[in-house]
Chains A and B, each alone.
Chain A
Amino acid sequence: EPEVTQTPSHQVTQMGQEVILRCVPISNHLYFYWYRQILGQKVEFLVSFYNNEISEKSEIFDDQFSVERPDGSNFTLKIRSTKLEDSAMYFCATQGTPMNTEAFFGQGTRLTVV
C-alpha cells in the first residue's frame, strides 16, 4: 500500500533554532499539504503546495514558515526561529487530485521546542 513517509519522527530543538521537517510523498501524487496538531487539539491546516508553489496558506503559516520541494521528491517544511508554541505534531499529506479524493497522511513529526 502506498504511504507518505516523514522524517524525523521526533525532533527536539532549542528555541530560536531552525528546523526542517521532511516528507516523501506518494510517487504519483501532485498535491501536498502540511498540517499541525498541538497536543490534544484538532488537526489544523497550514499550507497546500502544487506545481512548485504555495496554493493556499492559513493564518498560522506566517513568515516563520516556508515550504519547498528542492529535489523533486522530498517536500519540506522549514520553521525559522522556533518558538515554544511551535511544539506540535506536524503531518504531511498528499493527494492525487485536490478535490473529493483521499488525503494520505504521514505518521507525523513530533516537534518539541525547549
Chain B
Amino acid sequence: GENVEQHPSTLSVQEGDSAVIKCTYSDSASNYFPWYKQELGKGPQLIIDIRSNVGEKKDQRIAVTLNKTAKHFSLHITETQPEDSAVYFCASHGSGNTGKLIFGQGTTLQVKP
C-alpha cells in the first residue's frame, strides 16, 4: 500500500550545524513532496515542497532533494537555530487525484543553543 518512511525519528544538533532528514516513498506515481513543520500545539505548516520535474529546490537555509529513481527525498537545514526546533513531517501525494497526503512518521528536531 501507500507508505512514506521517515528517518531519523529524533535528531539533536548544535546551533549552527546542519540537519538532514530523509524519506522514502512507495508509490512511483507520486509527483509532489511537501515538508511540514509542526510546532507544539499547532497544525502542520508547509516549509518547502518539490515536484517531480526537479531534483533540488532551495529556500534560504532550507533545501530539499529528490531522487525519483530511488524514490527518496531529503530535507536539509543549514545553520540551524533554536527556533528550528519542532517536529518535521515529509509527505507525498497518495494515488488517485484527490490530493490526499501520505505522511512520514515525523522527526523531532532539537537545536541546542
B-binding residues in A (CB < 8 A): 4, 6, 31, 33, 35, 41-45, 48, 50, 55-56, 91, 93, 95, 97-108
Contact = CB atoms under 8 A, between A and B. Distances in A.
Interface string B95-110: 0111111111110000
B97 A98 contact: yes
Given A42-B105, A45-B102, A99-B32, A56 B96 contact: yes
Contacts of B106: 42-43
Contacts, number: 68
Contacts of B98: 31, 48, 50, 55-56, 98
A100 B49 CA distance: 9
Contacts of B31: 100
Interface residues of B, number: 27
Given A43-B103, A45-B102, A108-B42, 8 more contacts: A35-B101, A42-B104, A42-B105, A43-B106, A56-B98, A100-B51, A102-B46, A108-B43
A56 B44 contact: no
A17 B100 CA distance: 28
B100 A95 contact: no
B43 A105 contact: yes
B99 A33 contact: yes
A103 B46 contact: yes
Interface in B27-58: 31-32, 34, 36, 41-46, 49, 51
Contacts of A42: 89, 103-106
B35 to A, nearest CB: 11
A72 to B, nearest CB: 20
